[in-house]
Amino acid sequence: MPEPLLLIHGLKKSFATPDGGHQLIVDVPDFSLDAQIQVALAGESGSGKTTFLNLIAGILKPDDGKILLDGADMAMLAESKRDRLRAEKIGYIFQTFNLLQGYTCLENVLLGMAFGKGVDRSFAEGLLKRVGLGDRLHHRPRQLSTGQQQRVAVARALANKPKLVLADEPTGNLDHKNARESLALIREACRENGAALLLVSHDREVLSRFDHVQQLDRINRAAQAEAIV
Amino acid sequence: MNIWRIVFKSLRQHALSTCVTAFSIALAGGLLMSVWAVKQQSQATFTGVNAGFDAVLGARGSKLQLVLNAIFHLEASPGNLAWSDYLDIKKNPSVELAVPLAVGDNYHGYRLVGTLPELFDKAEYSPGKKFELQPGGTMFDPARREGVVGDFVARKMNLKVGDTFHPFHGLIFNEKNQHAETYVVVGILKPSNTPADRVIWIPLEGIQKMSGHDPRAATDVSAVLVKLKAGSAIAGFQMDMMYNKQGNRLTFAWPIGSVMAELFDKIGWFDRVLSLVSYLVAIVATASILAGIYNSMNERRREIAILRALGARRFTIFTAILLEAAMISAIGMAAGFVVYAIIVTVVAGVMRAQTGVVIEPWKFNAVMLWAPAMLVALGALAGIIPAFKAYRTDVAENLTPHS
């Protein structure tokens, strides 16, 4: 049986509170995700979903536990190596897109490549054409609609041919029609590029489109405790 | 897409503050280079100008005043000396050439200097170079009211061969002091880039016997330019002793370069003040880089967080900010050369108009290397604090927009 792409064990992360204490936000005993599988995590606000994704992406360092991504333990790596691993193996789609406003669509995608496997202009252009923005390569984000900005973010997330795409409420800022189209695009693009998808959302319409849906408060014991409180 | 692209994008995004800060660097760099270059060039030029002579003999007084008057045609004459004094030094076996000068009149502010034709025939104003006339001109006849006009004066006063002019009494132009005599321009000197370009040369007797001048001084001269024979360095010491130490009637200004160097020693404080001002401007400009980038850090935090989320390392961000600061300085210094060109061209023009001494604005000076290098390094140094702030940016906290 092949190793899962992502294997998490005993993952814990807490943050300091204003009163000097610590609040546990993520406490995930076990979680795994196979390669090329698409999983949706259902979580309400405050369930620690963004922190969970940031831990997987290596943006945050856990207090304890293991995050094995394609065999490398993200939790044990030095920050610069986490940055490198994230750039090469993870694509991240944010709820607020996080496009750089001073850069064109193409430059945003190229920038995604610059810190990863290297710049490949024709591949970047191909990705933007794939998401329907072939005629918007040199537009800046603020010249695009919200839906179009989301598509640039999708193209950028796939720029380094990642093995895992993390999507944090990717449809949260879109209207119903754009949300449906955007979700379909993310799923198709991940499938075409052989990337696994881990998407968190609280939108039932979004969740209903996935075969594999897990409740975050069942995975994250810290969220369970929060719910009880 | 590399780190330079990120730097240039950031410079463009913050174009206004980039321009303002670069402008202050340009002023600082331009000022610093100008002060330095003008100081060195003018010092080298003024101490190097001697009209081809080693010494000046004149009335008792300041050596500096004597040199300024006889060589640079500035300042008033310290007084007259008798014709016999001229003949005495001319006969000295160590003297190769002695040429008398007489001053006291002007033409619209440009000095008339009376002298003998041998100043033009025998003297070399710099090694191998004698004063030459422009085509169509001749040397003045010592017995006639004729003049040879320096190139600068000819251009400024639009004087041509065949023109006539009336001298004015004194060294400062006053239209009420016009002499009755009429002089004819018989020649225009080719440019020599020396103070001689700013003078109208007439026969010695012309000044001595000009109407209205004291008839008792009709044979006096204002100064004697002295060229010693080659290998007669000791003669300079002997004459210095004879005229300056043992005698009390005349002054022997020797060597001319040392007299001028004393002037620069005396006004050295002015150079130092100017240098200090330009260093202060450089420090203020550097501080403005620091303040400009540091203040923009708040609005850049999200951008930095995004770059980090895309995989940029902390050190990459740190380097990008440092390079941005250095680039602002580099852009400023590029513009600083324009500021330098403007300042030095203006100063060179004023200096030429006032003294006849020519400095070359684009002559290489080491300051053109070390000043830009220093300011770019200072700029990069100023970038360290904001770069460190960028280095410490919390990615997770800043990925979400703050309203």
Work out the pLDDT band at A225, boundaries 50, 70, 90: low
User: Per the domain annotation, does A15 fall within a domain?
Assistant: no
- Please state whether the peptide bond connecting residue B255 to the residue before it is cis, i.e. omega within 30 degrees of 0: yes
Give the C-alpha separation, B395 to B110, whole Å: 73
Tokens matching residue B22 = 């670069």
Give the C-alpha separation, B262 to B64, whole Å: 8
Give the C-alpha separation, B334 to A32, whole Å: 57
User: Per the domain annotation, does A14 fall within a domain?
Assistant: no
User: A114 to chain B: which residues are within 8 Å by CB?
Assistant: 1-2, 310
Per-residue pLDDT tens over the stretch A41-67 = 998 777 788 899 999 999 999 999 999
User: Per the domain annotation, does A81 fall within a domain?
Assistant: yes
User: A87 to chain B: which residues are within 8 Å by CB?
Assistant: 310-311
**Structural domain range at position A176:** 33-62+77-228
The mean per-residue pLDDT over the stretch B176-188 comes to 93
Work out the pLDDT band at A226, boundaries 50, 70, 90: low
Per-residue pLDDT tens over the stretch A64-90 = 999 999 989 998 999 999 999 999 999
CATH number at residue A87: 3.40.50.300
Q: Output the average pLDDT for chain B.
A: 90
Q: Where are the alpha helices (DSSP H) in B158-312?
A: 204-208, 233-239, 256-266, 268-309
The mean per-residue pLDDT over the stretch B18-31 comes to 91
User: Per the domain annotation, does A54 fall within a domain?
Assistant: yes
Percent helix, percent strand, percent coil in chain A, to nearest 5: 40, 25, 40
User: Per the domain annotation, does A120 fall within a domain?
Assistant: yes
pLDDT above 50 (res B287): yes
User: Per the domain annotation, does A161 fall within a domain?
Assistant: yes
What confidence score (pLDDT) does residue B1 get?
Answer: 62
Instruction: Work out the percent of chain B whose per-residue pLDDT is above 90.
Output: 55
Q: Provide the whole-model pTM.
A: 0.77
Tokens matching residue B87 = 């003949």
When divided into structural domains, chain A yields a total of: 1
The mean per-residue pLDDT over the stretch B282-286 comes to 87
User: Per the domain annotation, does A9 fall within a domain?
Assistant: no
pLDDT above 90 (res A224): no
Residue A145 — φ and ψ, nearest 5°? -75, 170
Q: Are A105 and A152 in contact (CB under 8 A)?
A: yes
Sign of CA dihedral B157, B162, B168, B170: positive
B313 in contact with chain A, both atoms CB, cutoff 8 A: yes
Tokens matching residue B150 = 């320096």
Q: Which amino acid is at A212?
A: H
Per-residue pLDDT tens over the stretch A169-196 = 888 877 888 888 889 988 988 998 889 9
User: A156 to chain B: which residues are within 8 Å by CB?
Assistant: 310
DSSP conformation letters of A101-116: TTS-HHHHHHHHHHTT
Q: Output the average pLDDT for chain A.
A: 89
**A59/B308 Cβ within 8 A:** yes
Per-residue pLDDT tens over the stretch B192-228 = 988 999 999 999 999 888 887 787 778 899 999 999 9
User: Per the domain annotation, does A4 fall within a domain?
Assistant: no
Per-residue pLDDT tens over the stretch B304-361 = 999 999 999 999 999 999 999 999 999 999 999 999 999 999 999 898 888 878 888 7
For residue A180, the distance in angstroms to the closest alpha carbon of chain B comes to 23
Does this complex have an ipTM over 0.95?
no
For residue A100, the distance in angstroms to the closest alpha carbon of chain B comes to 7
